[in-house]
Structure 1
């Protein structure tokens, strides 16, 4: 899965999206902070490949993108919108292929602009990135080739506080970066980051009015933060493999960025620091039980602004959840199975 699979809807309810065989399922709180529903299939009965990209707009709507098999040896992308956690999502709608036709070219990524338009990004057969964007009044613009070469899996799409879209892609020797200069415009390729980066470790977060921060792991295992225009900063050693999850939250009256990652020991590791102040330092604190190797972790905030952390183990289907206690610091409630 690519994107935040733990989300908060307009009604304050939390939802979790997960791949299940050839389908996507969703679970949601029956009421904010209350018990959860049983898993429900999203988008109808259409058979999917095991890929899922998620993006949520300021309106709270969740956009989902996946690959579906078409004819033998070929596939196409499909899109669905989930307006409310307790309502059924729209049926999967075919949106095409970056090369018109062919097999899967890589895991997609999706971000949603201030006008509620989904932007779908995926690697094309030439090794660059193509984009498909919704029109404001319905339908889709044509596919656009954004360029690039030797792009790895694990694109990181993000919506800035301005509502404009940015995209990051790992390549040999660095990271490519695209940014919208105006709402609805074609993202423009910016100055790349030239540094050794482990593929599959990118995570982007809006951290100020005009800037986003990309978190990634270097080839020596160091977790780095990079804001385009500046040099990357090493925060601390990575707690484990794969990308971190990150969320901005208020801790003791301060705007902080909280990171979470499945650690090498199998538990969830947390680290927090004042947003965009990496020089303040950060350190990992582990929490919860040991998880399966394939377990993922995701962060969000609930309707009261409290941090919520969830872990999902695809091999077992186990979903665990914790929230921040109503007390100073980052004290968490006991992890519980949902």
Structure 2
């Protein structure tokens, strides 16, 4: 699962996207703060490969991308839009292959610009970066090769507060950064950072009107924060493997960034600090029960702006949820299984 798979929809309902064999399921609240409904299959009956990406537009619509088998030995990418959690998503639509045809080349990532157009990024057969984007009035533009070399799997795509799309990729010994310089234009490579990054640990978040922040784990095990144009900052030791979840929220009247990750102990660890003020420091606080080794963590805010956290184990189907109590600090309700 790549991207924000726990989302707040346009109508205020929370929803979660779940892997289920050769399909993707959506489970949503029956109303904001109401009990959760049963899971529903997304996009019709097409058979999918494991793994999918999710991106949310400012309109609250969810865009999903996955690989599907086509002919023997080949696969292609498909896209679906989910306008409201309680409605059926659109059927999966083919958007092709970055090399016209071939097998799966890497996990996709998707970001949605200010006009509601999905931008899909994926590593290509040459281990560069390719992109395909929706047209303003329907349909899809041709695939574009954004170049790059030795791109690792685990892209992080994000939409800045400007509404322009950005993407980060790990490469041997560093990170490469692409951004749209104008709305509707393809992203261009603007910067490369030399850093001992661990592939598969990238998460990006819009943190101001001018910038996004990339979180990654370096080879020493430290969780680092980097904003293009500056230097990376070592924030604190990573709580566990894999990428962190990140969300901006208000805590006691302050604009904060909250991070969450499955820790080495198996519980969910949380850390918060003033947004873009890494020097203020952060530390982990663990919460909830021990989780399976493959459990992932997601963060969002509900209709009232309160933090909601979820954990999901694809191997067991265990889905746990908690939310912030209505009291100072980051006190959380008891985790509950849905």
Band the TM-score falls in, shorter-chain normalisation: over 0.9
1:159-218: CA deviations, max 9, x gaps?
000000000000001000000001011101012111100000000000000100000000
Deviation at 1:86, TM superposition (A): 0.2
SS at match of 1:192: strand
Number of the residue aligned with 2:55: 55
- The two structures, once aligned, show a CA RMSD in angstroms of 0.4
Distance 1:102 1:41 in 2: 27
SS at match of 1:196: coil
Distance 2:287 2:67 in 1: 35
1:4-40: CA deviations, max 9, x gaps?
1000001100000011000000000001111101111
Runs of 4+ in 1 over 6 A off after TM superposition: none
Number of the residue aligned with 2:151: 151
The reply to whether residue 203 of structure 1 matches residue 217 of structure 2 is no
Distance 2:123 2:73 in 1: 18
Distance 1:91 1:285 in 2: 41
The reply to whether residue 327 of structure 1 matches residue 321 of structure 2 is no
Number of the residue aligned with 1:238: 238
1:209-253: CA deviations, max 9, x gaps?
010000000000000000001000000000000000000000000
1:95-146: CA deviations, max 9, x gaps?
1000000001000000000000000000011110000000111001100000
Structure 2 unmatched runs, 5+: none
Distance 1:31 1:82 in 2: 16
Number of the residue aligned with 1:168: 168
Number of the residue aligned with 1:280: 280
Number of the residue aligned with 2:249: 249
Distance 1:184 1:226 in 2: 25
Distance 2:210 2:158 in 1: 12
TM-score by length of 1: 1.00
Number of the residue aligned with 2:129: 129
Structure 1 unmatched runs, 5+: none
Distance 1:79 1:315 in 2: 24
Distance 1:191 1:43 in 2: 37
Q: How many residues align?
A: 338
1:269-316: CA deviations, max 9, x gaps?
000000000000000000000000000000000000000000001111
The reply to whether residue 292 of structure 1 matches residue 292 of structure 2 is yes
SS at match of 2:55: strand
1:36-56: CA deviations, max 9, x gaps?
011110000000000201000
Number of the residue aligned with 1:24: 24
Number of the residue aligned with 2:317: 317
SS at match of 1:147: coil
For residues 105-144 of structure 1, the aligned pairs below 5 Å read 105-144=105-144
SS at match of 2:286: strand
Distance 2:260 2:64 in 1: 23
SS at match of 2:2: coil
Deviation at 1:318, TM superposition (A): 1.0
The reply to whether residue 262 of structure 1 matches residue 262 of structure 2 is yes
Distance 1:144 1:237 in 2: 37
